[in-house]
Amino acid sequence: MVTSPHPLASEAGLEVLARGGNAIEAAIATAAVLCVVCPHFTGLGGDGFWLLAQPGAPVRGISGIGQAAAAVPAPSGPIPLRGGASALTTAAAVDSWARAFDISARDWQGSQRWASLFDRAIEYAREGVAVSASQRFWRGMRAAETGQWHGFDAAFPAQASQQQRQPGLARTLSLLAAQGPREFYEGELAHRLAAGLQAAGSPLTLDDMRRTQAREVTPLAVPYRGGTLLSLPPPTQGFATLQAMGILGEQDFAGIPEGGAEHVHRMVEAIKLAFIDRDRFLADPEFADVPVERLLGAAHIRRQAARAQADARAMPWPHRFRQGDTVFFAAADASGRGASVLQSIYYDWGSGVVAGDTGVLWHNRGAAFHPDPAHANGLAGGKRPFHTLNPVAYLRDGRPELLLGTQGADGQPQTLVALLTRLIDFGLDPAQALARPRFLLGRTFSDSRDSLKLEEDAGAEVFASLAARGHEVAAIPAQSPLAGLPGVIRLDRSGRMTGAHDPRGDGVALGL
């Protein structure tokens, strides 16, 4: 089974599975197509994160985070959000694919050639694809800004509202297929990327590109309802999702109505507590102490759970708003192995910079740094920024049972706790869990209030009860994209799989 936010990407992964490929190989093919069909949310010029699970073996993580330019200028104020000055970090998504492919070949009996995994992506970039409703929305949203973005309007013309070809990206993908992943960092393509970025005003150099490497990491884990939840370590916010779930695991959900005010209130208060720790500590662990063992330890989680309040006014929303757009996709194969993956260019359309003639849109993840160099997440040369991306896996008895993740920046842990409690505590299937009303606490691009935004189909009684508990509740439309665009695959012990992608978007789960 494959789930992704675009049907063509899911089909590309399913084709790999149909010809005998494994979950990693299917996920790489899916990832490559998403770079073509969802350019507003992901691309070769961004970062990527993987959880790789198989029965009877430890879950493996890949953290593909580009580092800041070695000669990054010290900020004199807020870090720019667009343009060359926001293209401060290298892009590690392609090297995360390489790491995953190596694991596939070495440990998962991989059978597919690297080059074959790019066939559909190259075809769609060269021949063109229909522009999705999501891409049209975000192209229109930024129409007044894109004239200032280096190379953007030529690569993504506003009039291409129905069909879009990307010949530069097709050539780039063909080079990666033929020459291998390090072409992106060390080859002739790397030279062209670096030159294009510097022409746009980015401080990134060819040497910065060469130093870029994804890393295999040990996932973080917390127990939950007889199983184990896993996500990625810092500098991702994975520990915030896990801590929030640990807090909820200290509470008894028996007799609590799913989706009712008590369920929502408990999730919101757990998120607040976890985000206080996240915003205090999260940074690149090579530059700052991030005490994840203590933060996820049983004693600390019990203390956090004891701090949960019955009235929301006792603990206001603690932090500044972060924005971000992302794609989640997952694949599971006939051997019960699974890949849970997130890729991002940070904001919709990233930095807006298209690097030369490569067709590669670069991310603006450097804007996630704090402008104060004394801050734990302060900008510094060679440093990796705070990252919102945190795919999740859930194991029971050593076997992967759930693969899930979502886009949404600060909304990611919020969407994930809603899904996980519905899937595990309330026994909903993936399609049911994804369709149920969700919340988003904090600001959005369209609402600057730190209110609790709740989809209106939660019902008037839930709104009234939450308001009585001290929440400033604001209604958003049912099935709002503000609630994230997650996907889920569930594997049961018999080998049967069920999966879905969020009905709020264009995605789909497909199985064999």
Confidence class for position 101, pLDDT limits 50, 70, 90: very high
Q: Residue 184: what pLDDT?
A: 98
Q: Does position 7 have pLDDT exceeding 70, yes or no? A: yes
**d(Cα 223, Cα 228) in Å, to the nearest integer?**
4
pTM, whole model, 2 decimals? 0.95
DSSP helix/strand/coil, 463: helix
Q: Residue 268: what pLDDT?
A: 94
pLDDT, one tens digit per residue, over 281-303 is 888 999 989 999 999 999 999 99
Structure tokens at 176: 């990666």
Q: Does position 139 have pLDDT exceeding 80, yes or no? A: yes
Q: Residue 482: what pLDDT?
A: 80
* 178, 92: one domain: yes
* 284, 207: one domain: no
| 156 domain-assigned | yes
At 489, give phi and psi (nearest 5°): -125, 130
- Residue-averaged pLDDT of the chain: 93
Give the count of domains, the chain: 2
* 114, 61: one domain: yes
* 147, 73: one domain: yes
Average pLDDT over residues 451-455: 92
| 229 domain-assigned | no
| 383 domain-assigned | no
pLDDT, one tens digit per residue, over 338-356 is 999 999 999 999 999 999 9
pLDDT, one tens digit per residue, over 310-321 is 776 667 665 554
Q: Residue 161: what pLDDT?
A: 63
Share of the chain above pLDDT 90, in %: 82
**d(Cα 457, Cα 475) in Å, to the nearest integer?**
9
Q: Does position 158 have pLDDT exceeding 90, yes or no? A: no
* 431, 334: one domain: no
Q: Residue 448: what pLDDT?
A: 58
Q: Residue 151: what pLDDT?
A: 96
Confidence class for position 410, pLDDT limits 50, 70, 90: confident
Q: Picking from 45-54, 89-98, 387-396, 428-437, which range would have the lowest pLDDT averaged per residue?
A: 387-396
* 431, 404: one domain: yes
* 439, 492: one domain: yes
Q: Picking from 70-74, 113-117, 190-194, which range would have the lowest pLDDT averaged per residue?
A: 70-74
| 361 domain-assigned | yes
Average pLDDT over residues 20-48: 97
Q: Where are the beta strands (DSSP E) in 265-369?
A: 326-332, 338-344
Confidence class for position 408, pLDDT limits 50, 70, 90: confident
At 304, give phi and psi (nearest 5°): -60, -45
Q: Which residue has the tokens 């994840």?
A: 292
Q: Residue 317: what pLDDT?
A: 60
The CATH number of residue 242's host domain is: 1.10.246.130
| 386 domain-assigned | no
Domain ranges, residue 201: 2-216+325-368
Specify whether the CB–CB gap between 149 and 353 falls below 8 A.
Answer: yes
| 41 domain-assigned | yes
pLDDT, one tens digit per residue, over 140-156 is 989 999 999 999 999 99
Q: What is the CA radius of gyration of the chain?
A: 21
* 119, 47: one domain: yes
Average pLDDT over residues 400-420: 93
* 41, 174: one domain: yes
Q: Picking from 209-218, 279-288, 416-425, 483-492, which range would have the lowest pLDDT averaged per residue?
A: 279-288
Q: For residue 257, how far is the Cα from the chain centroid? A: 29
Q: Picking from 42-46, 88-92, 346-350, 481-485, which range would have the lowest pLDDT averaged per residue?
A: 481-485
Q: Does position 31 have pLDDT exceeding 90, yes or no? A: yes
- The residues that are catalytic are 326
Q: Where are the beta strands (DSSP E) in 152-226?
A: 163-164, 215-217, 220-224
pLDDT, one tens digit per residue, over 80-98 is 999 999 999 999 999 999 9
Confidence class for position 444, pLDDT limits 50, 70, 90: low
Confidence class for position 484, pLDDT limits 50, 70, 90: confident
* 318, 332: one domain: no
* 123, 180: one domain: yes
| 388 domain-assigned | no
| 222 domain-assigned | no
**d(Cα 415, Cα 419) in Å, to the nearest integer?**
6
* 130, 183: one domain: yes
Confidence class for position 323, pLDDT limits 50, 70, 90: low
